[in-house]
Amino acid sequence: MNKKIAVTVIGAGGKMGTRTSKNLAKNLQKYDLMLVENAPQGIDSIHERGLEVTSVEEAIAKSEVIVFAVPDTLIEKLSAIYVPMLKSGTGFLILDPAAAVAKELTLRDDCTFGVAHPCHPSFFLDQDTFEARMDRFGGEGGKQDIVMSKVCGQDSVYEKCMQVAQDMYAAEHVYVLTSEQIAFLEPTLVELLGATCLYAMAETVNEAEKRGISRDAAVSFLTGHIYNLTANFLGYIPGKPPVSDACKVAIGLGNRLVLRDDWKKIWDDEVLDKVIATMLHPKNPQI
């Protein structure tokens, strides 16, 4: 029988800590799971799940892999406290690349550090059940993929981290990238551009409703077109038919009226660095 991997989730009672530790708790045949939490509300939520809280000192001393499920803005402060406590050879996973790219994550030469982030369920993935289709976030029945990077360390330890990450996110596939590439995906692709555009669409649905258009009609029209156009632009429609000439004209106008003529500067590494710095330290904006 294979030896269990000793895994600790630090921040196990928080939003991401709860999601990841729930899935690891379903795989106790593979993992010796320890949960660390300081907030009283988080401790209560762990107890409500029928699980126990372990002291951070005990958990770190026993663990082969640490899942650091704390807010990005606290990684610099808290990793400086906990990373020196790691035993040599430990794998240390953070859940977002920002602190690693900004070099705010404390590192050690004798440990392995990585990033693991969910893609969330795509509307191009076929889900097996109604409940899975209702899992919009992923990891609770809805199929999803994840992206990972190795910041530094040993491949053998990173392989353990990948196994833990795939189970804690209940992921179908693992796409291995660099931390900088993951940071281009988030924040640049899905937050700076994607979330901004989608939020504007939601606001425009509200505007349509004010103009007397049925909200249900506006939502159906918007989401149906998003699905169709996404499939079209990404090449998922057989034959790759072009959009109409009128749509092409509207897209050109949108680049001027909705976006900005120079919006593609968000792809520049310098802009990404400033965006990450501002996201981690919003009281000291860099852009």
According to the model, what pLDDT value does residue 43 have?
97
Give the closest residue to 90 by CA, choosing from 161, 168, 167: 161
**Three-state DSSP class for 185?**
helix
Q: Please, what are the averages of pLDDT over each run of 10 residues along the chain (287 residues)?
A: 89 95 96 97 96 97 97 95 98 96 97 98 94 95 97 98 97 97 96 94 96 97 96 93 90 88 89 91 88
pTM: 0.91
Q: Which residue has the tokens 């690891």?
A: 24
Cα gap 138→154, rounded to integer Å: 29
Give the closest residue to 14 by CA, choosing from 58, 46, 62: 46
Q: What is the DSSP string of 25-72?
A: HTTTTTEEEEEE--SHHHHHHHHHTT-----HHHHHHH-SEEEE-S-H
**Three-state DSSP class for 107?**
coil
Q: And the tokens for 218?
A: 């506006």
Q: Which helix (H) or strand (E) holds 91?
A: strand 91-94
- Per the CB < 8 A criterion, the answer to whether 50 and 25 are in contact is no
